[in-house]
A and B are shown apart, each in its own frame.
Chain A
Amino acid sequence: MEPDFYDIRIIDTRASSIVLDNDEIKETSHSFIRGASVRALVGGAWGLVTTESPDGLREALKEAVRLAKAAGEREKKGRIELAPIKKPLVRDLPTIRKNPEDVDIEEKMELVREISGSAQKPGVSSVRTVYSESEVSVEYSNSDGVRGCYTLPRIGFSITAVAHENGDYQAARESRFAVSGFELFDREDPLVIASETADIAKSLLGARSARGGLMPVILDPELAGVFIHEAVGHAAEADHVLEGYSVFEGRLNTMVGSPLITVCDDPTIHEYGYYPFDDEGAEPRKTVVIENGLLRSYLHNRETAGRLGGVSCNARADGSSRPIVRMSNTYIDKGESTFEEMLEEIECGVYLIGSRGGQVDPGDGIFQFNAERGYLIEDHELKTLLKDVSLSGDILEMLNEVVAVGSDLKMHSGQCGKAGQVVPVSDGAPHVLVKRAIVGGSG
């Protein structure tokens, strides 16, 4: 039988990495992995077959149709209508100046050793440096006649420094990942970044634990970016909304936060979450999620856009997994305040810097994330350095408590996990002042 819709993706990945642990190369690895994914829609359910081989795709399609029928036949379900998409025109691909494949592995190892050396200072007990590069080729086609292909290189490094003193260990981590060739290392000075990371780890040895409580906080661009990704971005994913699992359900075109807040997701900019077309073949577009506090739009794939209305351009998949609604490059847009003006507002509070990750339950709107470090703010000045400090609370309360947004927007690259799939993203923000937030710490 004929499915209502099907699509086929073939993904070819070449990846390599070098892990230097203290002075020892812990790992050098190369991989050549191919995957194919065949998806079929019959009525109200999907069938999906994933294999490594693009051979036998016709058989795989038949099996996907059988699975879709089996999944849908037990109950009366509404048909899934997919929103139309604009056919992709692959254009504006980032220019690659130095193909990493043309750089000798010896040179890469030398670079990794230099980065590591730059972080090895007295008091630093352990340094771990990771270099990785990959090149992914995607070939997409579907039963609507949409076709496309592209090849995209990604590259980057991370450095983790651990400082040790009197039984106390403190770690700091920094990374730069980009859609780029080897020229990334000309743009970003990895040796300076490594050296600063080591200094941060050392400084944390003398830091105090934060005393928890409700207080005004300033978030630095990295942490504010994590907040906007974790707490706002995930809740704006339309699949969460349709599951009844988002605090933004039923709130389109209502105020969900301070009028100072504008949040966008933009896969067209050449940050780490960039894609030439999404994993359903749709042309990428910028989405304004929140405009001056007003919830404007969710993020969609074709299925969610078909149900709720909206533009579909955020379908992404990890390898041959199924495309689901994902973010790309997500940020709080620039405001007008300066950091000094924010400090002027605070008699007693905390400045939170960097991120050790976070998590959110978009259903009940609760989030939690940890800063890498912080400073106690007393009498409008940065005072004591704080470690192991975290922020938690309710998404909507937090968005409403924003009283100033800076003009110093900065993006950070990272990986985002959802439903067991990991995709490259970036998030960012300027400095943000929040009048009241729950700070956690053991002090």
Chain B
Amino acid sequence: MNLNLEEALRLGERAGADEVEVYAVSNRSIEIEIKRDTIELARESLVHGVGIRAVVDGAVGFASTNREERLSDAATLAVKTARLRRSNPKWRGLPSRTEHPVVKGLYDRKIEDIGVEECIDHAFEMIRGVAGTRETSPVRGRVTCTTTEHEILNTSGVEALEKATVADAYIETISRRDGETATAYDFEVSRRIDGINFYGIGKSAAELSRRSLGTTKVLSERTTVLLQPMAVADLLEQTFVPALSAENVQKNRSSLRGRLHTTVASEDLTIIDDGLVRGGLRSAATDDEGTPSQRTMVIEKGVLQTYLYDKYTADQDETVSTANAIRYTYNQTPVISTRNFIIEYPDSGVIEETRSGVIIHSFIGAHTANPITGDFSVEARNSFTIRDGEIREPIKTMMLAGNVFELLQNISGAGSDVKNLGSIITPTLRIEEMKIV
């Protein structure tokens, strides 16, 4: 199929748009699915489609297709729906042509050239990683290698073309002893195939599920809680990240509204949103509407420095975009989200320093947290007691309740175990006085 992007721009302009943007993506991926300790399925998928945004008087219409014969319909509909909307006098226009930074390490030829057989080898490496742990076996897993090319063209002269690769490996394990079972998962994701330790993922998931056997019950109390990187990411993505979105702030559904340049977190906490990290999973020359990527100080020593903007919300606040327009597929309009969201806190021996508390690997149900108030009540997964500076017994069931904005104020330490989870890069964080049930 051949989708002619310049043609789509012209079609939109001819239909009466002031401005037109075409976003095209072309993906090829190979995916291996593991079930128990065998390969169940090998998949190859091709995606190729375009999304068209048309602007009339500052109102934006959108249509998408992956069918050549529908390209003209899509362009016309984008313009038609834009016309039906109220004009937006604050809109200053789509991003315009500028110099784009160069970000290295986003493409790995080995991934583009990889064959299904090699992906299968990696899947078996992961399975072998599980095999060394007694009483434990894989439940399911996945190895995916994707090559993506995306192109952004607009009538203000933006022309951004980028090719990038991602390898992603994931495994879940189950451990059994005397009728008791425990599960765990682990994953790694990288721009380079050599950046992934397939054997190590299997091994770490297996060890975690086995260590989670032989549980004890805990009593409701307020105590010190150590959140490991996945647990931190689970919580922040659902609560804190939406509160930073300029759109949510402007629409009066963010608890951070009116909090700019005030202390919103522990004064040792710094958070940077950086679209330029070498090899970063959310790195690119531009964001997904063509604004050059940048490094943005979000929280500096506990003080909120900025919200996250795309071009539209930046125009409403008469400021500049922070290059946080993200598209997950070609058939949706961009949304405001993080680039590489880096959480920094001075590290220390957080486990050894803890006399009494719990450590939590990840959560179940983090998506049920209240994204506006930041209140949450979530089930901990693979959690353990800590006594006298050592990790002790696994905990059967435990809920953690609290508020993410209070949590950020109560951080008292961090580990040195920084992990890149895709969009959030964080160490283990220690929080004082959390409620466990």
Q: What residues make up the interface of A, taking CB atoms closer than 8 Å to B?
A: 21-22, 24-25, 27-35, 44-53, 63, 66-68, 70-72, 74-75, 77, 105-106, 109, 125-126, 162, 164, 167-171, 209, 212-213, 242-245, 320, 322, 356-361, 363-364, 366-370, 387-390, 392-394, 438, 440-442
Chain B residues closer than 8 Å to A27, beta-carbon distance: 60, 62, 333
| A32–B379 CB distance below 8 A | no
Name the distance in Å between B151's Cβ and chain A's nearest Cβ: 17
Contact of A70 among B36, B42, B65 (CB under 8 A): B42
Are B35 and A390 in touch, CB under 8 angstroms?
A: no
Task: Say yes or no: A109-B435 contact (C-beta < 8 A), given A34-B66, A368-B368.
Answer: no
- With A67-B42, A164-B252, A360-B364 known as contacts, the answer to whether A33 contacts B373 (CB < 8 A) is no
Question: Is the Cβ of B65 less than 8 Å from the Cβ of A32?
Answer: yes
Inter-subunit contact B372/A46 (CB<8 Å): no
For B85, give its contact among A28, A32, A125, A356 (CB under 8 Å): A28
Beyond contacts A245-B183, A320-B45, A359-B364: 19 other A-B pairs, Cβ-Cβ < 8 A, are: A28-B84, A31-B65, A33-B67, A46-B40, A46-B42, A48-B45, A52-B1, A52-B67, A71-B40, A72-B39, A162-B372, A242-B35, A243-B36, A243-B139, A363-B183, A364-B181, A367-B379, A390-B378, A393-B397
Residue-by-residue, is B426-437 near A (CB-CB < 8 Å gives 1, otherwise 0)? 000000000101
Beta-carbon nearest neighbor of A420 in chain B: B142
Residue in B closest to A357 when the chains form the complex, CB atoms: B368
CA distance A67 to B39 in the complex (A): 11
Report the minimal beta-carbon distance from B54 to chain A, rounded to whole angstroms: 10
Q: In the assembled complex, how far is the CB of residue A34 from the closest CB belonging to chain B, in whole angstroms? A: 6
In contact, B375 and A442 (Cβ under 8 angstroms): yes
A370 to B379, CA, bound (A): 11
Q: List the A side residues contacting B82 at CB < 8 Å.
A: 28
Nearest neighbor of A25 in chain B, beta-carbon distance: B85
B401 lies within 8 A of A442 (CB) = yes
Output the least CB separation between B62 and chain A (Å): 4
Question: Smallest distance from the beta carbon of A51 to chain B beta carbons, Å?
Answer: 5
* A71 engages B42 (CB within 8 Å): yes
Contact check, A356 vs B401: say whether CB atoms are below 8 A apart: no
Residues of A within 8 A of B14 (CB): none
Chain B positions within 8 Å of A68 at CB level: 42
A50 touches B397 (CB 8 A): no
Which B155-195 residues sit within 8 Å CB-CB of chain A? 172, 174, 181-183
Task: Enumerate chain B residues within 8 angstroms of A49, measured Cβ to Cβ.
Answer: 43-45
> In angstroms, how far is the closest chain B Cβ from the Cβ of A218?
19
B364 touches A46 (CB 8 A): no
Which residues from chain A contact B137 at a C-beta distance below 8 Å? 244
Q: What CA separation (Å) do A232 and B120 show in the bound complex?
A: 34
CB pair A394–B397 under 8 Å, yes or no, is: yes
Interface pair A74/B81, CB less than 8 Å apart: no
Provided the pairs A52-B47, A109-B84, A361-B364 are in contact, do residues A45 and B399 lie with their beta carbons within 8 angstroms?
Answer: no
Closest residue on chain B to residue A46 by CB atoms:
B41
Q: For B368, give its contact among A67, A105, A390 (CB under 8 Å).
A: A390
Chain B residues lying within 8 Å of A243, measured Cβ to Cβ, are 35-36, 139-140
Q: Is the CB of B252 within 8 A of A126?
A: yes
Residue pair B183, A32 in contact (C-beta under 8 Å): no
CB-CB nearest in chain B for A63: B44
Query: What's the Cα separation between A414 and B333 when bound, in Å?
Result: 22
> 23 A-B residue contacts at CB 8 Å?
A25-B85, A25-B86, A27-B62, A29-B333, A47-B43, A52-B47, A70-B116, A162-B252, A169-B253, A171-B253, A213-B220, A243-B35, A322-B41, A356-B368, A357-B368, A358-B368, A359-B367, A361-B364, A363-B181, A369-B365, A370-B368, A388-B370, A440-B437
Nearest Cβ distance between residue A366 and chain B, in whole angstroms?
6
6 tightest A-B contacts by CB?
Answer: A368-B379, A370-B368, A28-B81, A212-B437, A368-B365, A67-B42
- Residues of B close to A28: CB separation below 8 A: 61-62, 81-82, 84-85
B residues less than 8 Å from A52 (CB atoms) = 1, 46-49, 66-67
Known contacts A46-B41, A52-B49, A164-B252; is-contact A74 B124 (Cβ 8 Å): yes
Q: Does the CB pair B86–A31 fall under 8 Å?
A: no
A394 to B217, CA, bound (A): 14
Min CB distance B99 to A, Å, is 31
Min C-beta distance of A361 to chain B, whole Å: 6
Query: Contact: A44 with B38, CB < 8 Å?
Result: yes
Cβ-defined contact, A388 with B139, below 8 A: no
Known pairs A169-B255, A390-B368; A361 contacts B42 (CB<8 A): no
Knowing A71-B120, A390-B377 touch, does A29 contact B63 (C-beta < 8 A)? yes
**B39 & A45 in contact (Cβ 8 Å cutoff):** yes
B255 surroundings in chain A (CB, below 8 A): 167, 169
- Do residues A126 and B39 form an inter-chain contact, with CB atoms below 8 A? no
| A245 nearest in chain B by CB position | B139
Contact with A along B300-332 (1 / 0, CB 8 A): 000000000000000000000000000000011
Q: Is the CB of A440 within 8 A of B139?
A: no
